[in-house]
Amino acid sequence: MKRQIRVGIDVGGTNTKAVAIDNATYDIVGMGIIPTTHDHELGVSQGVIESFNKCLTENNISADEVTFIAHSTTQATNALVEGDVAKVGIIGIANGGFVGFLSKIQGHIKDIELDDSGKRKIQTEYRFINRKDFTEENVASIVDELIKSGCGVIAVSKTFGVDGNKEELLIKEMGKDKGIEVCAASEISKLYGLSRRTRTAVINGSILPKMIATADSTESAVKKAGISAPLMIMRGDGGVMDIEEMRNRPVLTMLSGPAASTVGALMYLKVSNGIFFEVGGTTTDIGVIKNGRPMIDYAVVGGQRTMVNSMDVHTVGVAGGSMIRAGGGKIIKVGPRSCHIANLPYVVFTDPKGFENAEIIQISPKEGDPKDYIVVRAGGKDYALTTTCAANALGIIEEGDYSYGNPESAQICFKLLGEFLGMTMEEAARAVLDDAANTTNEVILDLMDKYKVEQSQTTIVGGGGGAKVLLPFAAKKLDVPYKLADKAEIISSIGVALAMVRDVVERVIPQPTREDIMRLRAEATDQVIKSGSSPESVEIQIEIDQQTSKVRAIATGSTEIASQDLTKKVTKDEARKLAADSLLVREDEVENPVSNENFNIFTAKKAGKTELRAVDKKGFIKLQRADAKAIKTTAGGVRTVVANMWKDLAVFKSDIKLNPDIYLCLGGKIVDFEGLTSIDQLNMLIDSELSLREGNEEVIVIGAKNDL
């Protein structure tokens, strides 16, 4: 039987890495790594092509075996960081009078600054059309004006366009006739908020020409290689979409690199709850996985929130190649400048013989940098002292590790730094790693607080080539366990290969009805199919934000009708051990009150509470709660069980009632209904989930108490 191969390609700042995974066995069957082709005429897409071809040819993988191919891209992020963007003409549409007056203010997005210098920005030019003057002749005249003024793309945004976008779509069609791309704001987001929706459309439009060119060249090369599977592109929220959808909404690819590594941790490493910590050469990306799902927030560009959902990954300017600022007898700061950006070699990757008669000097690596960055000068050449050098000097990095170099070189040079500061070699190296860990841990603690992650139930998982450099120190200072990712240096490519097709539809609906929910489900289903999913594989998750009245439908699916289980099933004993390790108890202290073919529910008594872990058949801990219970019933009996749990698990504190969180183990997934304040709303959402289920289908209901 012919193999089915999934190929994931991650475009990093230094290297582009392609990984091939057998869809049936979950084995990595090939890799292809080449330097990222920033300066090629085709840009980074050339590296995607080369790494892909290398992966196939060097590992005897035939083109007809590839059933899935996807890549993450830094193109959108880099374009915004570097200011390589098109000027955007904005066309606002509204009624006249006071509404029109407000629309002109809210929809007129001024130039969006992309850095603090003010040199990199998205230039804009604004025009307004009163709906009563909306004629083909008037619109054509405005489009021509914007083209003449140097606009490379147009963003059209109608006030209340989410309720009816006929005018936006007409202008989009007219733009095609005139040879200019038009971005309709209502197609980017269905949320109210004219300024934010228009800003998101402007950002999307600014990168549209470059992204389309990249998409065209990449898709052409993949087809020439004989690949029949559609080319998929990684989104910033951890899903993928087909290349045609990327041509329409490239803004969704922002932060797809960090998203890829988080998906890799989630799918390949079975991280269900923890902090994912990917250490590169210049920066470290930090994100949260909770109950088997990465945490999502709105992306920020130019200091302003957009309406683009992306993984809430925070990037800090300290990593494996971070240089050191020092003076006055102390380490001043580690980073943010890296030896990669400064174009300096690492001390630790240099022969120790090269450091005879070496000396410590202080420099400014780039114009405008502080003048207290430490380098080692020897033989007329400068070398960077970095966090990787510090970890090697202390013997933290073992031979064979990705970051292992020449510890002797690191020790020679850290001894010089110690003498410069009045410390021992060890004290200087530890001070460097301490400062770096303080930087990362500040972000980790903020994220744990934001997402209510309990420190006692958290593991930090390290990925990236520099994970071993920073992770042990960071975890020790937080007093939490950690583990290094297997295949850490290619975890992002693995994440791309394993990603599902995903799309999100959001609406502001103050009092959603069952009909509202069903319409949203249908729209999300249509959208994810449009993004490349097979209809048979689509699953929908409905979320309601009580504070903002936002109703969100998250749709996921596979590109194949019968997607494979990518991991082997675990036995009940194996699942029990996973639960015991997570609960921090012996296996004989763990009870298994409820189970079915998809889930084992384990509990243990701790501090007078029943802690619960839900382990799926593949060994993922999909849910962990500190005070919870589970009951097995049928689809027809769910409402009765939920009603009892809603009453029995409520917590009363003075004049405050805290309602429990309810979860359904439905088929192979857990549907969560966290944060709901109304039993009627809960029942409505449950009904929408069960509408296509047989009444006698087995369902596990989990209820968990809440606390202040």
Same domain, yes or no: 300 and 427: yes
Q: What angle do CA 112, 116, 121 make, to 5 degrees?
A: 30
Could you report the per-residue pLDDT of 284-320, keeping only the tens digit for each?
Answer: 888 888 877 788 888 777 677 788 888 888 878 899 9
Domain assignment present for residue 376? The answer is yes
Does a structural domain hold residue 75? Answer: no
* Residues 321 and 466 reside in one and the same domain: yes
Q: Which one of 455, 489, 523 terminates a domain?
A: 489
| Inter-residue contact 386 to 414 (CB < 8 Å) | no
299 with 253: CB under 8 angstroms?
Answer: no
Residues 466, 591, single domain; the answer is no
Residue 256 phi/psi, 5-degree rounding, is -70, -25
pTM given for the model: 0.73
Instruction: Tell me how many domains the chain contains.
Output: 5
pLDDT of 564 > 50? The answer is no
Task: Judge if 546 and 577 occupy the same domain.
Answer: no
pLDDT class of 48 with cuts at 50, 70, 90: confident
User: E strands, 14-87, where?
Assistant: 15-22, 28-35, 66-71
User: In terms of pLDDT, which residue wins out, 681 or 654?
Assistant: 681
Condensed to tens digits (0 to 9), the pLDDT of residues 68-118 reads: 898 887 667 767 766 778 999 999 999 988 888 888 898 899 988 876 666
In order, the DSSP letters of 566-612 are -SPPPPHHHHHHHHHHHHTS-GGG-EEEEE-SSEEEEEEEETTEEEE
Residues 323 and 467 in one domain: yes
**153 vs 211, residue with greater confidence:** 153
pLDDT reported for residue 440: 93
Q: Is 256 a member of any domain?
A: no
Gap between the Cα atoms of 525 and 540, Å rounded: 7
Residues 280 and 397 in one domain: yes
Q: What is the mean pLDDT of residues 336-354?
A: 90
Query: Does 236 map to a domain?
Result: no
What are the DSSP calls for 482-530, one per residue? EEEPTTGGGHHHHHHHHPPEEEEEEEE-SS--HHHHHHHHHHHHHHHHH
Residue 1 structure tokens: 């039987």
Q: Are 86 and 206 in contact (CB under 8 A)?
A: yes
Q: How confident is the model at residue 568 (pLDDT cuts 50, 70, 90)?
A: low
Mean pLDDT of the chain: 86
In a domain, 644, yes or no: yes
494 assigned to some structural domain? no
Do 317 and 444 lie in one domain? The reply is yes
- Section 583-612 average pLDDT: 92
Given a contact cutoff of 8 angstroms between Cβ atoms, the answer to whether 18 and 34 are in contact is no
- Identify whether the C-beta of residue 29 lies closer than 8 Å to the C-beta of residue 22: yes
User: What backbone torsions phi and psi does residue 51 show, to the nearest 5 degrees?
Assistant: -65, -40
Q: Tokens 């997005």 belong to which residue?
A: 109
Cα(6)–Cα(8) distance, integer angstroms: 7
The least confident of 141-155, 561-575, 605-619, 624-638 is 561-575
The CA-atom distances, in angstroms, between 265 and each of 454, 481, 559 are 19, 16, 21
pLDDT for 563 equals 42
DSSP state letter for 552: E
- Give yes or no for residue 561 having a pLDDT over 60: no
- 130 and 52 share one domain: no
Which tens digits make up the pLDDT trace of 372-388?
999 999 988 999 999 99
DSSP classification of residue 253: G
Q: How far apart are CA 81 and CA 615, in angstroms?
A: 41
- Which tokens hold the place of 199? 């800003």
Q: Whole domain around residue 520: which residue ranges? A: 499-559
Last residue of a domain, one of 559, 594, 611: 559
- Pair of tokens at residue 630: 């589970």
Domain identity same for 87 and 151: yes
Report yes or no on 248 lying in a domain. Answer: no
The β-bridge relationship of strands 698-704 and 181-184 is: unpaired
Give the separation between CA 219 and CA 10, rounded to whole angstroms: 16
489, 519, 548 - which closes a domain: 489
Highest average pLDDT, of 62-66, 458-462, 573-577, comes from 573-577
For residue 667, pLDDT over 50 is answered with: yes
Q: In this structure, are 87 and 54 located in the same domain?
A: no
Q: Per-residue confidence at 1, pLDDT binned at 50, 70, 90?
A: low
Contact 193, 221 (CB under 8 A): no
- Inter-residue contact 47 to 34 (CB < 8 Å): yes
Q: What is the mean pLDDT of residues 533-543?
A: 81
Q: Are 208 and 228 in contact (CB under 8 A)?
A: no
Angle ∠(203,206,175) on CA atoms, nearest 5:
110
State how far the Cα of 531 lies from the Cα of 559, in Å rounded to an integer.
10
The mean pLDDT of 524-536, rounded to a whole number, is 83
Predicted local distance difference test score (pLDDT) of residue 638: 92
Is the predicted pLDDT of residue 234 greater than 60, yes or no?
A: yes
Q: Which two tokens stand for residue 324?
A: 């050191």
Residue 567 has pLDDT above 60, yes or no: no
513 shares a domain with 469: no
* Within a domain: 316: yes
Same-domain status, 687 and 656: yes
pLDDT reported for residue 560: 60
